[in-house]
Amino acid sequence: MNDEITYKKSGVDIEKGERLVKTIAPLARATFSSCVLQGIGSFGSLVRVDTEKYRDPVLVSGTDGVGTKLKIAFMMDRHDTVGIDLVAMCVNDILTSGADPLFFLDYFATGNLKPDTASDVIKGIAEGCKSAHCALVGGETAEMPDFYSDGEYDIAGFAVGVVDRKEIIDGRSVSAGDVIIGIASSGIHSNGYSLVRKVVFEKHGYKVDKYIDELGRTIGEELLEPTRIYVDAVDALKGKVKIKAMSHITGGGIPGNIMRTIPDGFSIVIDETKWKKPLIFDIIMALGNVPEEEMKRTFNMGIGYTLVVSNADAEKSIQMINKKGYSSSIIGYMEKGAKGTRYVKN
């Protein structure tokens, strides 16, 4: 009787993991820039900073995950978009300091490694890195039997960017009368999904394949729409317009996130008639009888990223952003006063 216990019998298949690395290595290499000296396969990745472009380089780092939006991917058995979300949640954050995304690493953990699923996730990460113009230089795949339910996984991301010290954007130059430019989100992005799932799946018993006429697609397809990456929008303005402050609109909504980037002594006025709110927010609000204030502090409500510029620079900024394929508009302005948000409808 053979009662030998091996790592494989314990639930961890090293060979399967090694095959996965060989599969995803070309995806990562396709994102490399000339700054990557050593990437996938080593104990550590080596990335140099271009000291001709950045004379006084400052590294900006950020980390995040996708949260319970992953539950939608599990329900739909579709895994090729959550990697985009992962990159977006990290690079959009470091972008707010004026950083150019430099490189990205991921962490993928599951109970039983399914190479096809993992490969789809990494494909999304690689696609996100290409959109963000950063290199996917490495990551970690962890197979942890009995830790996750069958078919489930979790992912985390780590982004590093670089900005010249004199180009750091920190909100210090904000003045009364400066305008807030809002750039449209692609939908819910990656925040508030615990509330979404409670309303849509628990309270109303919807299935992910339920077709919603107003949306023109299934509820699952709508909820899995990946987070928009705003690197190209910001790049369009760098060197042409003075950007005074930027915010990635995540949990906390528009007021909660803009407040993080402006100095004391200023408040914001938001005109909610200045952008088109995606229908999914009205649907969630109606289905769950969610108070409007709760919606505003939980979701982006259709604005995924904001920039503060002078009134004189506003129109040309919008033109340059929209030329890159985004939809942007003036959604508010700065005024003197204690920190806070005032909504108007003009």
Q: Which SS3 state, helix, strand or coil, does residue 6 take?
A: coil
- When comparing pLDDT for 125 and 345, which is higher? 125
Q: Does the pLDDT at position 10 exceed 80?
A: no
What would the mean pLDDT of 128-153 be, rounded to a whole number? Answer: 93
Quote the pLDDT of residue 221.
98
What would the mean pLDDT of 6-29 be, rounded to a whole number? Answer: 72
Q: Does the pLDDT at position 6 exceed 70?
A: no
Instruction: Tell the burial category of 168 from Cβ atoms under 10 Å away from its Cβ (0-12, 13-18, 19+).
Output: middle
Q: Is the CB of residue 155 less than 8 Å from the CB of residue 89?
A: no
Residue 330 contacts by C-beta under 8 Å, 6 or more apart in sequence? 179, 180, 181, 182, 274, 314, 318
26-37 pLDDT, tens digit per residue, is 887 888 888 888
Amino acid at 76: M
Domains of the chain: 14-167 (3.30.1330.10), 179-344 (3.90.650.10)
Average pLDDT of the residues of the chain: 93
Amino acid at 17: G
Q: Is the CB of residue 267 less than 8 Å from the CB of residue 342?
A: yes
Quote the pLDDT of residue 157.
97
Kindly state the helix (H) or strand (E) to which residue 282 belongs, with its residue range. helix 279-288
CB-CB neighbours of 289 under 10 Å: 8
Q: Is the CB of residue 205 less than 8 Å from the CB of residue 67?
A: no
Q: How confident is the model at residue 97 (pLDDT cuts 50, 70, 90)?
A: very high
285-317 pLDDT, tens digit per residue, is 999 999 999 999 999 999 999 999 999 999 999
Q: Does the pLDDT at position 1 exceed 60?
A: no
Q: Is the CB of residue 200 less than 8 Å from the CB of residue 219?
A: yes
Amino acid at 320: M
Q: How confident is the model at residue 174 (pLDDT cuts 50, 70, 90)?
A: very high
**Among 135, 230, 218, 217, residue whose Cα is nearest residue 189:** 230
pTM: 0.94
Quote the pLDDT of residue 192.
96
Quote the pLDDT of residue 32.
86
Q: How confident is the model at residue 186 (pLDDT cuts 50, 70, 90)?
A: very high
Quote the pLDDT of residue 28.
79
Instruction: Calculate the alpha carbon distances from 105 to 40, 137, 139, 158 in Å.
Output: 10, 6, 5, 5
CB-side neighbour CA atoms (13 Å) of 177? 4
188-228 pLDDT, tens digit per residue, is 999 999 999 999 999 999 999 999 999 999 999 999 999 99
What would the mean pLDDT of 168-189 be, rounded to a whole number? Answer: 96
Q: Which residues of 255-284 are buried (b: 16+ CB within 10 A; e: fewer)?
A: bbbbbebbeeebbbbbbbebbebbebbebb
**Among 22, 21, 61, 54, residue whose Cα is nearest residue 35:** 54
Quote the pLDDT of residue 7.
61
- When comparing pLDDT for 206 and 1, which is higher? 206
Q: Which SS3 state, helix, strand or coil, does residue 250 take?
A: coil
